A and B are shown apart, each in its own frame.
Chain A
């Protein structure tokens, strides 16, 4: 150390963001429970129910329904559940507070978290596409652009909800709530059980959630070819409301 006489400066903004992104990724991949949630469960669900035809998928080959559904599940598990749990504990343990006293800005922190989510999702998509293809999924009406757009909107919506939970609830409550929401949306999100099999009231409810809307777009874009217009509206609305609410209510300590 030399005498700190002159004004000390921050590193360039891009460098701060990249360092934070790297550590977010490193720590996410090091956490066993996050790997279980984001990789193991989707991969196992897709393989198991594609090979064991017990779900009322309504398609000739269950993988044709399950592949888009599990893809939606993967997006939700990363952007909602993983983000909520990790951020909740970071907040409770004072990690966010401490970062607040460094030159890393809130914008850079959020940017880093976003980038880490995008990278994890990309890895999930690669793994699931390989698996889906091996299990015999046929890209009958693939509209990659629509699927990607829906993934982006859903990621924004889910991450907003995750941060809203993490920023307002105690960490353990967030952990429990995130897992509860995960299970609920897994069953009601049109991911492993078609929305058409749900009672009509429950179906309408599910279609209004970002999970159901995302699954509908994925099924349309990667399979049946028709995407219901209301799904886009639902996704867009959540993609606005959730981050705005998170920004409004998030408490850093």
Chain B
């Protein structure tokens, strides 16, 4: 039995389909990342698994239970981290953890968990006094205090600084190691690549592709070496040397259609060295998940609503930055 099973899930808001016939499964001991741009349908999907949203079509099973009809049996076994926090503004970290711990028969030790998420130093502060990153870490701890078998983490590292991110990712990996099925959503490709065992790429509510980060990154177009060098190289001569097609894809950006083996890379760099040419960069083998993602979301034929890089030119229009609650 998989820990979670989503089968042709469809969620519609009016005439818009936020989630459109989406299917995937998740196993115990696995970190599953739902990856997609803002508005791709990630939160709606997670909320269907948490029992907040009723599917218009299709089925969702978590621990072989119906999240709505069998909510009483499910809630003791899942942990939920909402995008919006959802914690009393006047509560202190340990109080919040103790409250949530008291809902479960065999909870984790609140004090130990507080140490584990690195919040012992703010124990006297209330939720509203915590920084964004501290709030996210407490929110994560609240999702874990009941020792869930399935944990749903909606954008767990949003607004968290670098150290906080590392801590959260380490905790997520530890959870999977302990046998928990962790479902997290992210629009951060780097994060999916680092933390997930399996990635489900979603756009416009539809499944684009799923697989391990390695599978996704080596899928298609991997038999090539890309490098940067001065523009206007003699690609014909280099092609002769390499016995492969060489193309200048953009000025100073070259692609060699050949297996990126060490020998081939050595041949390339030798050729450059003999001509005393500088090498600006070199990419071989795996593509970045970002490349895959861009290619995949473009394949759907629709303009992907993708923002790969969070920074946006400010004050351009009213719909730039989304509130954390919206997705």
Q: How near does chain B come to A170, taking the closest CB pair, in angstroms?
A: 13
Stretch of A24-32, A123-131, A213-221 with 4 or more beta carbons under 8 angstroms from chain B: A24-32
Return chain A residues, CB-CB under 8 Å to B325: 94
The interface centre, meaning the residue of A4, A7, A9, A27 with most chain B CB atoms within 10 A of its CB, is A4
* Stretch from A97-105, A132-140, A152-160, A237-245 contacting the other chain: A97-105
**Shortest beta-carbon distance, A107 to chain B, in Å?**
11
Closest A residue, CB atoms, query B108: A1
Q: Are B86 and A97 in contact (CB under 8 A)?
A: yes
Complex: how many Å from CA A10 to CA B52?
Answer: 19
Interface of B is mostly: loop
- Asked if B88 is at the interface (CB within 8 A of a chain A CB), the reply is yes
Pairwise interchain contact B147-A10, C-beta atoms closer than 8 A:
no
User: Shortest Cβ distance from A21 into chain B, in angstroms?
Assistant: 11
List, in ascending order, chain B residues with CB within 8 A of A230's CB.
none
Complex Cα distance A1/B98, Å?
16
One of B90, B103, B149 near A16 (C-beta < 8 A) = B103
Is B104 among interface residues, defined by CB-CB distance under 8 A?
yes
Asked if B85 is at the interface (CB within 8 A of a chain A CB), the reply is yes
Total interface residues on B, CB under 8 Å, equals: 40
Number of interface residues of A (CB under 8 A): 35
Q: How far is the CB of B83 from chain A (nearest CB, A)?
A: 8
A52 to B149, CA, bound (A): 65
Within 8 A of B (CB), among A1-25: 1-5, 7-11, 15-16, 18-20, 23
A9 and B85: CB pair below 8 A?
no
Q: Is B41 an interface residue (CB 8 A)?
A: no
Is A181's beta carbon under 8 Å from chain B? no
Q: Does A93 contact B (CB under 8 A)?
A: yes
Q: Which of B72-80, B261-269, B279-287 contacts A (4 or more CB under 8 A)?
A: B72-80
| Interface pair B87/A98, CB less than 8 Å apart | yes
For residue B76, which residue of chain A has the nearest CB? A10
Complex: A188 Cα to B48 Cα, angstroms: 48
CB-CB contacts of B69-112 with A at 8 A, as 1s and 0s?
00010011110101011111111000100111011111010000
Q: Tell me how far the C-beta of B117 lies from the nearest C-beta in chain A, rounded to whole angstroms.
A: 13
Contact A27 B104 (CB under 8 A): no
Of residues 227 through 253 on chain A, the ones whose CB sits less than 8 Å from some CB of chain B are 253
Q: Which residues of the other chain, B, contact A26 by a CB distance below 8 angstroms?
A: 95
Query: For chains A and B in complex, what number of residue pairs have CB atoms within 8 angstroms?
Result: 108
Residues A94 and B85 in contact in the complex (CB < 8 Å), given A8-B106, A16-B102, A20-B99: yes
Within B41-67, the residues touching A (CB, 8 Å) are 50-52
In the bound complex, residues from chain B placing their C-beta under 8 Å from that of A94 are 82, 84-86, 325
A3 and B77 contact, CB distance less than 8 A: no
Is the Cβ of B149 less than 8 Å from the Cβ of A103?
Answer: no
Q: Which residues of B contact A98 (CB under 8 A)?
A: 80, 82, 85-87, 142
Question: Is A95 in the interface zone, CB < 8 Å from B?
Answer: yes
Can you list, as one digit per residue, whether each of B160-195 has a CB less than 8 Å from chain A (1) or not (0)?
Answer: 000000000000001100111000000000000000
CB distance from A177 to the nearest CB of B (A): 20
Contact A93 B85 (CB under 8 A): yes
One of A9, A90, A102 near B105 (C-beta < 8 A): A9
Q: Determine the residue in chain B with the shortest Cβ distance to A90.
A: B88
8 A Cβ contacts from A88-119 to B = 89-90, 93-95, 97-105
Contact status B147-A4, CB under 8 Å: yes
Contact A8 B147 (CB under 8 A): yes
**Contact (Cβ within 8 A) B88 A19:** no
Complexed CA–CA distance, A201 and B103 (Å)? 52
Given known pairs A4-B147, A26-B95, A89-B89, the reply for A97 and B103 (CB within 8 Å) is: no
Q: Mark A190-234, 1 if CB is under 8 A from B, else 0.
A: 000000000000000000000000000000000000000000000
A253 and B89 CA atoms in complex are apart in Å by 17
- Which residue of the partner chain, among B91, B108, B146, B149, contacts A27 with CB atoms under 8 Å? B91
B148 within 8 A of A: yes
Q: Is B86 touching A95 in the complex (CB atoms < 8 A)? A: yes
Residues of chain A within 8 A of B148, CB atoms compared: 4, 8
**B103 and A102 form a contact (CB under 8 A):** yes
Residues 226-239 of B, flagged 1 when their CB comes within 8 A of A and 0 if not, give: 00000000000000
Distance of A14 from chain B, by nearest CB (Å):
11
Instruction: Tell me the residues in window 139-157 of chain B with beta carbons closer than 8 Å to chain A beta carbons.
Output: 142, 144, 146-149
Within 8 A of A (CB), among B109-157: 142, 144, 146-149
**A8 B104 Cβ-Cβ under 8 A:** yes
- The answer to whether B178 and A23 touch across the interface, beta carbons within 8 angstroms, is no
Closest to B116 in A: A1
Q: Tell which of A7, A27, A31, A102 touches B75, judged by Cβ atoms closer than 8 Å.
A: A102
Residues of chain B within 8 A of A97, CB atoms compared: 52, 82, 84, 86
A101 lies within 8 A of B51 (CB): yes
Q: Give every chain B residue within 8 A of A4 (Cβ-Cβ).
A: 77, 147-149, 178-180
> Which residues of the partner chain B approach A15 to less than 8 Å between Cβ atoms?
102
A9 touches B76 (CB 8 A): yes
Cα distance, A90 to B108, chains bound together (Å)? 25
List of A residues within 8 angstroms of B174 by Cβ: 1
Query: What are 20 pairs between A and B in contact, CB < 8 Å?
Result: A1-B174, A1-B175, A2-B178, A4-B178, A4-B180, A7-B149, A8-B104, A9-B76, A10-B75, A10-B105, A11-B105, A27-B90, A31-B90, A97-B84, A98-B80, A98-B86, A101-B52, A101-B75, A103-B103, A103-B104
